[in-house]
Structure formats: C-alpha cells, structure tokens
Structure 1
C-alpha cells in the first residue's frame, strides 16, 4: 500500500529568471534559485572533483506532499500529491503554455510503498489534469523496508 508521495512542478531555464515564472503564474514557489546564485560545494571522493560554485540555470519549483491521513479513497493509491499539484495549476494552462516556449517544465513524482505490489493509480480525471500542465512526468516508486527506503 502506498504510504507517502511527493510531487514537484520544476521549471528550468539556462537564460531566463525564475522570478519571471512567479510573475507569470501568480503562484509562489516552494524553492527557487537564479542563474549565478551561489551553490553549496559538494565534496567528491575523487581528488580534485567538485561541483560548480554557481548555478548555470534558474530553477522554480512548487512542491506538494501527499498526506496519507487526509487521503480519500481515490487518493489512497499514491497519487495524493499529484492531485494537489494539479489543483494548484488547473486554471494556469494558458500561462504554462506561454512559459513552455522559453522554459523547460518537468513534473517529478515519487511515492513510498509498504508493499512490493503497491497499486499506484492515476485515474482518467487525474490524467486529464496532468494534460493541462502538459509536461513530462518523471516518477519513482520506493519500497519501505524496515524503515529504510530501497529503490524498487
């Protein structure tokens, strides 16, 4: 059975600002960074290897986490977060279409299951809502095993 899920609409550009996305959509992001913003350095195990010190692209993200305690019967199949995200952007189809000309849009979704046969269900209504957002969906399902999430 699905126990947790999270969905993010991520909007990227290598030459335009993330702040312009907020202005175009009228939706506040849950996280944002602009081209040139300082980036935390990561230490690699290989000598001399490190990540760049500044972002080379802008990123605007709006993230929603499913709440299993408040999920209805239809949402009990690991799609609560995506349904909530679709609700945020349902009336933004025109604005998203304009952004698509200059930005890359991606929908990220992941869910955790307590069973190896979890029924992740995306019903027709949800699929119609995803079509309004109109971008590729990247999804991952994880198996919850003894408190450690292992990739299926």
Structure 2
C-alpha cells in the first residue's frame, strides 16, 4: 500500500518567465529558473554539456508533500495539489500556449506491491486540469522473499 506520496506541478515555458507564471497561477513556486539562469548542476560546477548548466527554457515547479491523515488511497498529496490547481485550470491552459504543464507523482509503498486507489473524483478533477500525469511507485524491497 502507498503510505506517503509527493506531487508536483512543473511548468516549462518558451515564452514566459518565472514572474509571469507566478502571477498567472497566484502562488509562489518551490523551485524555479528563468531561461539562461544557471541550473543546480551549473551552480554546483558540474562538468556537463552546456545545455545542462543553464535553463534552456523557463522552469517553474511547485512541490506538495503532506502527511496523510488516514488516507487509504495513496494520493493525499496529489489530491491536495489538484484541489489547489482546480480554480486555476484556465491559467494552466494559458500556460500550455508556448509551454508545457505536467503533474509528477511518486508514492512510497510499505511492501513489494504498490497498491493505490485513484478515485473517479480525482480522475475527473485531473482531467479538468488538462495536465499529463507522470508517476512512479517506490517499492519496499525489505519484504521481498529471498531469491526474488
């Protein structure tokens, strides 16, 4: 079963800067960089290709991680992020003009199976946002049987 999760909205834009995206959405990002700004790898001085050292397009991200209160679905953070974004669905559509909006989700399982329940209501609300959902489940391998 998924015991905790993290959900993030990521906006990438060729035409808008961080300030414009923040203004459209009405809340501050938890991670960001305008085109041409150094990336975390660039700041750290890593020896990578130049395109990995500066943002090639504006990057704006908001990370939502909450402690679930008796959440049996595995999507507490995702549901919270979706609730925050629903009133801003029109802004997300505007941001897709010359850009991309994605929701990233990851869940941590307490076993070697990553069971979860995505309710029809959450699916409906996700569809209203118009953002693709990318997801990963991290499984607890401590419970794996020897030789598997």
TM-score (norm: length of structure 1): 0.81
State the number of aligned residues. 138
**1:66 and 1:79 in contact (8 A); partners too:** no
131, 137, 147: which is aligned to 1:135?
131
Is 2:120 aligned against 1:124? Answer: yes
**2:114 and 2:138 in contact (8 A); partners too:** no
**Distance in 2, Cα, partners of 1:88 & 1:126:** 13
Is 2:18 aligned against 1:18? Answer: yes
TM-score (norm: length of structure 2): 0.83
SS in 1 for 2:121: helix
SS in 1 for 2:11: strand
Give matches, 1:46-85, under 5 Å: 50-52=48-50, 53-68=53-68, 70=69, 72=70, 75-85=71-81
Q: Which has the higher helix share?
A: 2
Q: CA deviation at 1:3?
A: 1.8
User: What RMSD in Å do the two structures reach over aligned CA positions?
Assistant: 1.9
Unaligned runs of 5+ in 1: 147-152
Unaligned runs of 5+ in 2: 143-148
